[in-house]
Structure 1
């Protein structure tokens, strides 16, 4: 399927139509390795920040956290609607296999802008951890490990326009739409039912399972020539999603099953359950 074959039942906004996806892909091909620099700076600031805050009182950042979470929630909601509409069109018109193997998500109408916006957003999303550090909350391994690996893999994959990207990005947008809306509500002091936190973590676990499934199908179909990827990418994607699946499942067990009475502290750390 190519761009001229797409007849989306969804009109493009002018900024989506004018977006230069070729220039974006070329930039990422030349600069994707800068994600390692961002990751190194992030790790230094996170652990250096923890050391700096150790003898100091925690900061009250409720208002900035509301604005931060709300802005990311709105971004994710819009991204989920736009990419979800595109993926639904491909699924309904061309089937499940085409939705995984087709590269048009990276250069097709509507989705091309949001694919690039998605991968770029993984850099500013590192700012999530600043609130954890400055408010002296418990920083879980899952939190910073997830931020670093999502950034590295997203930039690494976008440059090659690998198969499966439409599923990976749409699922992430959708889960983040729920997750950041939840954080914004909690930061604003609203009482959020505990089952909603359980639902979000369950959705994240489901996302990881689906990520492994998509990676496996890409591996199965790649030799046929219509599912473009390469073994290095499939290997890293599989290892990443498997590690997420184990870590999120462990988080779910210890937060909601083994120690359900500690929901207050667990929900406060729910931001560690960010999914790619």
Structure 2
């Protein structure tokens, strides 16, 4: 079939190829800039320090404010009230930090940008975690579901420690490997506690008690927390146990080689 016989769409007919060619003649050298930006590795140390410090400070304040509220409810009204009471979403103090929490999940996607620009390895756990937390937190906030106070407070606490660690690392401080292990353990614990909260909400709902949520939310939340638990356990094993064994094996091999070399010299 002849090209001339093809049906033309309006946007195709109105396209100005002369302007397109003229623009390309004037700007084609920008392709080198785009290629350099794509291929280059950026240190971004100072922006990363500022970014991590900002998120650390935000998470610390959030953890203090929501943690104080949840502790007060837990101590004065009991566990069930702390899980099921929707006042976390509209209380005089907690309402701000609840809304700030869900909104913060959008800018936190910027973590991935730093990883990409610095040419570091982007693992599945990282982007999966960021995307699903954003989707679930916005989805749940609109319904003011039970358990939200615990979910948000735990996340604030973990992020307060995690982003403080990132800021120290970005600033060039040498931080103990055990601190990184501790952070991953707290993340694993958070996922287990999330499952426990979901179970409590489900149990109280089944008993006909006032614990406002719905099965769809509980199912999605439980699947999310369970998947996080599996992925963080896998990460812990690969990052700390497997690597420790590899480092120990390499050290042993190096020691054996050094001993063999010394023995030959004595001969």
Using a 3 Å threshold, how does the CA distance of structure 1 residues 53 and 232 change in structure 2: closer, same or farther? Answer: farther
Name the structure 2 match of 1:113. 96
List gaps (5 residues or longer) in structure 1. Answer: 1-50, 264-276
Q: Runs ≥4 in structure 1, deviation > 2 angstroms?
A: 51-55, 260-263
Using a 3 Å threshold, how does the CA distance of structure 1 residues 226 and 186 change in structure 2: closer, same or farther? Answer: same
Within a 5 Å distance, the mapping from 1:218-257 to structure 2 comes to: 218-223=201-206, 224-257=208-241
Larger RCO, structure (CA 8 Å, separation 6 or more): 1
TM-score (structure 2 length as normaliser) = 0.77
Name the structure 1 match of 2:130. 147
Name the structure 1 match of 2:191. 208
Higher Cα Rg, which structure:
2
Looking at structure 2, the residues matched to 212 and 156 of structure 1 have their Cα atoms a distance apart, in angstroms, of 18
The number of equivalent residue pairs is 213
Q: Choose the corresponding residue for 1:164, options 133, 141, 147.
A: 147
Within a 5 Å distance, the mapping from 1:1-276 to structure 2 comes to: 56-223=39-206, 224-260=208-244
What is the Cα-based RMSD across aligned positions, in Å? 1.7
Q: CA deviation at 1:131?
A: 0.4
In the alignment, is the contact (CA less than 8 A) between 1:162 and 1:229 conserved in 2? yes
TM-score (structure 1 length as normaliser) = 0.75
List gaps (5 residues or longer) in structure 2. Answer: 1-33, 248-267
Using a 3 Å threshold, how does the CA distance of structure 1 residues 55 and 163 change in structure 2: closer, same or farther? Answer: closer
